[in-house]
Amino acid sequence: MSNVTLRDVAHAVGVHPSTVSRALDPKRSWTINEQTRQKIVQVAQELGYKTDTIASGLRRGRSETIGIVVPDLANPFYAPMIRGIENALEGRGIMALIAETQEDRERMSKVFDHLASRRVDGVITAAARKGDETILRKVSENFPVVLAVRSLERSGLPTITHDDELGGKLLAEYLVTLGHKRIAQLSGPQDISSFVGRSHGFCTALTAAGIEVISLDECAANPTIAEGKRLMQHLLTFVSPLPTAVFAHNDLMALGALEALKAAGMRCPEDISLVGYNDSPQAAYTAPPLTTVRLPGYELGRIAAELVVTLSEQPELVLQNMSLPPLLVVRQSAAAPRAGSKSHQ
């Protein structure tokens, strides 16, 4: 039924397939007699003709497809970003192939193979980790690769990210303002730029305030709920006296930390204040609602999409990397330390 081809339409109208092809392509339809064009359009419509993107792509060397690579589909933070990308794309008739690395380099490698084999016009990846430079650089010889959210030092790849350093600083200053003096952080994997940036901004700001951050001797293997929970348990067990405030490097880890807190009979923010990062869609609905930093995923997605499309059309273009500003979102998971807590010191 959708096996209607250009030839069928051409035959029905009584013209050559090329003419149909031209008439149906906005960029070339002006070369066609207005009357013939209208007739072609009409007949095409009636017959239910739809351009075969595959065939067209083969001929033109473009697939009108871009890849989106995310670390973890279960992390709700990526939903807005994906949406931003798709919204930017749909107007251009481009569709997105979405794949997940699960923070595993081998998987990532396979994913990029698949995407390459499909001749995508470009890829946006939010899954870059230190050590991926070689793979990504090689891949980017075939099509533009845009780094989103996570950057990669000296990879030379165009990057749309977010000022994690400043975000960490905002959080630190906020906790200091509340009166906290014993402050810890639950670190995400240090081969991911975002977490390095957050950590650095956070620590620097606290040091400037004369406070030394309590960091565990361990980072999360992955920035997930499970790891957040594990690290918080670790902290509760081995750190004494306990901190009055904790910075979990993303909202997912904060959720896990919250769980550990509850399991240990500690209340948040009464006993320990907790802050996260990302302003994931669910951060406003946790118990207590999470104080966090907003990373504008939707906008970031839009921009990354526009960038990758531009690059796919003009590969030589060298564009400046872009960094979006963070926004502190104050909710209820952080409060002033109680006198009782303070006395621990």
Instruction: Please check whether residue 125 is in contact with residue 69, taking contact to mean a CB–CB distance below 8 angstroms.
Output: yes
Instruction: Please check whether residue 102 is in contact with residue 126, taking contact to mean a CB–CB distance below 8 angstroms.
Output: no
The burial class, CB within 10 Å (0-12 / 13-18 / 19+), for 5 is middle
114 binds, among DNA, a second copy, none (CB under 5 to 8 A by kind): a second copy
Of 236 and 252, nearer to a second copy (C-beta) is: 252
Site map 6..35 versus DNA, x via CB under 7 A? xx------xxxxxx-xx-xx--x--xxxx-
Q: Cβ of residue 1: shortest distance to DNA, in angstroms?
A: 12
Instruction: Please check whether residue 122 is in contact with residue 308, taking contact to mean a CB–CB distance below 8 angstroms.
Output: yes
Calpha distance 278→283 (Å, rounded): 9
Instruction: Please check whether residue 158 is in contact with residue 146, taking contact to mean a CB–CB distance below 8 angstroms.
Output: yes
Calpha distance 123→120 (Å, rounded): 7
Residues 105-144 that bind a second copy (CB under 8 A): 110, 113-119, 138, 141-142
Calpha distance 223→11 (Å, rounded): 59
Q: Cβ of residue 97: shortest distance to DNA, in angstroms?
A: 18
Of 33 and 42, nearer to DNA (C-beta) is: 33
Angle between helices 6-13 and 34-47 (to 10 degrees): 120
Residues 44-83 that bind DNA (CB under 7 A): 49, 51-52, 55-56, 58-61
Nearest CA among 166, 167, 129, 120 for reference residue 147: 129
Of 298 and 328, nearer to a second copy (C-beta) is: 298
Of 16 and 110, nearer to DNA (C-beta) is: 16
Instruction: Please check whether residue 65 is in contact with residue 93, taking contact to mean a CB–CB distance below 8 angstroms.
Output: no
Residues 26-55 that bind a second copy (CB under 8 A): 50-55
Calpha distance 267→284 (Å, rounded): 18
Q: Cβ of residue 218: shortest distance to DNA, in angstroms?
A: 46
Calpha distance 160→303 (Å, rounded): 7
Does residue 215 belong to the site contacting DNA (CB under 7 A)? no
Q: What is the dihedral of CA 122, 128, 132, 133, to 10 degrees?
A: 70
234 binds, among DNA, a second copy, none (CB under 5 to 8 A by kind): none
The burial class, CB within 10 Å (0-12 / 13-18 / 19+), for 269 is buried
Q: From 4-12, 88-96, 160-168, 320-328, give the range in contact with DNA by CB under 7 A.
A: 4-12
Of 49 and 77, nearer to DNA (C-beta) is: 49
105 binds, among a second copy, DNA, none (CB under 5 to 8 A by kind): none
Site map 272..301 versus a second copy, x via CB under 8 A? ---------xx--xxxxx------------
Judged by the rule CB under 8 A, the positions of this chain that interact with a second copy are 1-2, 50-55, 57-58, 63, 65, 73-74, 76, 79-80, 82-83, 86, 90, 93, 95-100, 110, 113-119, 138, 141-142, 255, 258-259, 281-282, 285-289
Judged by the rule CB under 7 A, the positions of this chain that interact with DNA are 3, 5-7, 14-19, 21-22, 24-25, 28, 31-34, 36-37, 49, 51-52, 55-56, 58-61
